[in-house]
């Protein structure tokens, strides 16, 4: 009934309360971290409420390292589970399923991640399997072909859903040739050319311990876990030379309005993004920006949702979000509406953004947003999975426990003067990048109102 709550709000990191009766005033459970000789960073946090253990690992092997082989990092991540030195794929699937555990491997733009959850009693078995998947994958050729074929059909199927593809189009438009525009799953022509040799070589170059981290949270003893991990992961060889981060290159953002119109012949509605450059994860104003975005487009009563949904009934939900990466990021307004109401929906979105700049915000709405952000903080770090993920995020984006400890203080310290500065500095006023997925014949004239239009077909 309120789609926005699930899809659009989450830009921040939040936290769990265990024993604190006031849900606000939050403390991060204790954890330790250490580095193995090969450079692998390990975080351990004991949590004994439920007899489970979660593992989260990150390595710098995401889509930004694809070069011209789009989809390579993604397929390599998936192929980790195609069998290892001591386990065939079949055996792996059976072992993991039999004990009710799970292991997922996935690539994001910047990093590849492994996440796993299992019963505490299965600790030894699962750590051995995880170690094999990360260090000793065999990349079976037959399994690779199957995975690749599934991906190829999946890429075609994605085109059935505007929501599934619009983000990729937007990132390409915004980031241009910068690696942040790389599409994680690649495209049909690039994936079609990939071979099992490509993934073997990608693995060999990029899966190294020295810029990687593993975090483990749950029902175990730190001392014993430290011993086990040291034994399992110390033989992992570090890379000879540091791999250059291709995302460090400058991003050339557009200096005028652009519109990318994606024709979907059978569309009955227009799905659109309006956006621009945003911030990187380590921006010192991260928390303040999150509070303001909550007010603008990050919750049900936000300015955007209030106008586009509640007042006008143009859409089921409208929102905005800052997507943050290590060296840059984007800001997007996103919503959808019936084809015939495309123009009022885009106009309203721009009007609400303009209102944010001209009217600023008042004391009461600022307090409301601050309360909301603080109130919704605890459930974000309730589970062992969430906590394990937090620790690897801290590693990746280079922040520490003070982010959690100072979160509430940073929210409280945001006053009206600073809030209005944040709006002027981080919320765009011009150079908007529009992506519209819809029936081009019916909305092309409208699209032209907003900037230079490039039209492509969703099937291309």
Partner 1 sequence: MFNGAKKYGPKLFDQTMEFNGGANNAYTTKDVTVYTNWFPASAMEVIFDLEGDRISSLSIDPKIVESERGVVLSERSTGLENSPWRQLSEAVEATAFVEHPYHWSVIGYEDDMKNWKQQDLERYFKMYYAPNNCVVVVSGAIKIAEVKRLAEKYLEPIPSQPEPPKITIAEPAQTGERRITLQKEVATPYFMVAYHTPETKNEDYYALNILSAVLSRGQSSRLYSELVNKKQLATSVFTDFGESFNPSLFSIYAVANKEVNPIDLENAIYTEIEKIKNEGISEAELQKIKNQKLMEFYNQVETINGKSNNIGTYEVFFGDYKKMFQAPDNYNKITVADVQNIAKKYFKKSNRTVGVLKTNTED
Positions in 120-149 near partner 1 (CB under 8 A) = 146, 149
Residues 390-449 that bind partner 1 (CB under 8 A): none
Distance CA 259, CA 170 (A): 10
374 binds partner 1 (CB under 8 A): yes
Q: Which of 27, 33, 39, 159 binds partner 1 (CB under 8 A)?
A: 159
CB of 18 to partner 1, least distance (A): 9
Is residue 68 part of the contact set for partner 1 (CB under 8 A)?
no
Other CB atoms within a 10 A radius of the CB of residue 252 amount to 10
d(CA 97, CA 93): 6
Q: Identify which of residues 381 and 396 has a Cβ nearer to partner 1 in the complex.
A: 381
Query: Rule CB under 8 A: is residue 104 a binding residue for partner 1?
Result: no
Q: Per CB under 8 A, which region of 93-101, 108-116, 276-284, 413-421 contacts partner 1? A: 93-101
Q: Compute the radius of gyration of the chain from its Cα atoms.
A: 23
| CA 448 to chain CA mean position, Å | 31
Dist CA 375 CA 369 (whole Å): 10
C-beta closer to partner 1: residue 354 or 371: 371
Pairing type for strands 452-457 and 258-263 reads: parallel
Alpha-carbon distance of 308 to 314, in angstroms, equals 5
Which of 39, 103, 108, 116 is CA-nearest to residue 76?
108
Instruction: Check residue 354 for interaction with partner 1 (CB under 8 A).
Output: no
| Nearest CA-CA partner of 133 in 62, 207, 186, 220 | 207
Among 371, 425, 445, 457, binds partner 1 (CB under 8 A): 371
Q: Which long-range contacts (CB under 8 A, 24 or more apart) does 195-202 make?
A: 196/79, 196/139, 196/140, 196/141, 196/144, 196/145, 198/69, 198/72, 199/72, 199/75, 199/76, 199/79, 199/139, 199/144, 200/139, 202/61, 202/65, 202/69, 202/72, 202/73, 202/76
Task: Give the residue, chosen from 12, 137, 162, 329, that forms a contact with partner 1 under the rule CB under 8 A.
Answer: 162
User: Shortest gap between Cβ of 148 and partner 1 (angstroms)?
Assistant: 12
When asked if residue 384 is in the footprint of partner 1 (CB under 8 A), the reply is yes
Per DSSP, the chain holds a count of helices (H) and strands (E) of 18, 12
Residue with Cβ nearer partner 1 (212 or 458)? 458
| 149/201 with CB nearer partner 1 | 149
Residues near partner 1 (CB under 8 A), total: 75
**Of 293-322, which residues contact partner 1 (CB under 8 A)?**
299-301, 306, 309-316
Strand partners, 260: 435, 454
> Residues 180 to 199: which contact partner 1 by CB under 8 A?
none
Nearer to partner 1, 162 or 297 (CB): 162
Among 66, 269, 290, 408, binds partner 1 (CB under 8 A): 269
Residues 32-61 that bind partner 1 (CB under 8 A): 49-52
**Stretch in the footprint of partner 1 (CB under 8 A) among 2-10, 176-184, 417-425, 445-453:** 2-10
Q: Would you tell me how many other CB atoms lie within 10 Å of the CB of residue 193?
A: 13
Span from 161-169, 199-207, 323-331, 354-362 in contact with partner 1 (CB under 8 A): 161-169
Which tokens sit at 252? 């050339």
Query: Segment contacting partner 1 (CB under 8 A): 18-26, 196-204, 353-361, 426-434?
Result: 18-26
Q: Contact between 244 and partner 1 (CB under 8 A)? A: no
Instruction: Report the C-alpha gap between 328 and 283 in whole angstroms.
Output: 9
Single out the residue of 185, 276, 383, 433 in contact with partner 1 (rule: CB under 8 A): 383
Q: Does 178 bind partner 1 (CB under 8 A)?
A: no
């Amino acid at each position: 009934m309120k789609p926005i709550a699930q899809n659009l709000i989450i830009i921040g990191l939040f936290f769990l309360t265990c024993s604190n009766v006031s849900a606000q005033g939050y403390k991060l459970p204790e954890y330790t971290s250490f580095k193995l000789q090969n450079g692998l960073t390990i975080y351990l946090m004991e949590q004994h409420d439920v007899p489970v253990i979660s593992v989260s690992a990150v390595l710098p092997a995401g889509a930004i390292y694809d070069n011209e082989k789009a989809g390579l990092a993604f397929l390599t991540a998936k192929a980790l589970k195609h069998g290892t030195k001591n386990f065939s794929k079949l055996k792996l699937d059976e072992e993991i399923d039999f004990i009710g555990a799970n292991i997922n491997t996935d690539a994001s733009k910047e990093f590849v991640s492994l996440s796993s959850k299992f019963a505490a009693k299965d600790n030894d078995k699962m750590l051995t399997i995880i170690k094999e998947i990360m260090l000793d994958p065999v990349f079976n050729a037959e399994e690779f072909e199957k995975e690749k074929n599934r991906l190829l059909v999946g890429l075609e199927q994605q085109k059935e859903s505007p929501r599934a593809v619009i983000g990729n189009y937007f990132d390409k438009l915004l980031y241009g040739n910068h690696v942040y525009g790389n599409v994680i799953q690649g495209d049909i022509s690039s994936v079609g050319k990939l071979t099992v040799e490509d993934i073997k070589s990608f693995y060999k170059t990029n899966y190294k311990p020295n810029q990687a981290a593993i975090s483990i949270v749950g029902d175990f003893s730190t001392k014993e876990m430290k011993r086990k991990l040291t034994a399992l992961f110390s033989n992992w060889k570090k890379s000879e030379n540091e791999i250059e981060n291709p995302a460090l290159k400058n991003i050339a953002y557009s200096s005028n309005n652009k519109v990318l119109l994606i024709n979907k012949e059978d569309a009955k509605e227009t799905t659109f993004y309006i956006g621009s450059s945003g911030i990187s994860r380590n921006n010192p104003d991260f928390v303040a920006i999150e509070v303001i975005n909550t007010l603008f487009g990050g919750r049900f009563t936000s300015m955007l949702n209030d106008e586009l949904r509640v007042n006008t009934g143009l859409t089921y939900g409208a929102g905005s979000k800052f997507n943050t990466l290590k060296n840059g990021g984007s800001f997007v307004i996103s919503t959808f509406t019936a084809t015939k109401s495309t123009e009022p929906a885009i106009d309203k979105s721009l009007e609400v953004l303009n209102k944010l700049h001209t009217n600023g915000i008042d004391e009461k709405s600022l307090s409301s947003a601050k309360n909301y952000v603080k109130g919704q903080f605890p459930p974000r770090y309730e589970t062992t999975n969430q906590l394990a993920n937090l620790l690897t995020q801290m590693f990746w984006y280079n922040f520490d426990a003070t982010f959690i400890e100072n979160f509430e203080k940073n929210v409280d310290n945001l006053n009206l003067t600073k809030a209005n500065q944040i709006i002027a500095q981080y919320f765009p006023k011009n150079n908007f990048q529009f992506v519209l997925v819809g029936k081009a014949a019916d909305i092309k004239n409208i699209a032209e109102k907003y900037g230079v239009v490039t039209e492509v077909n969703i099937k291309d």
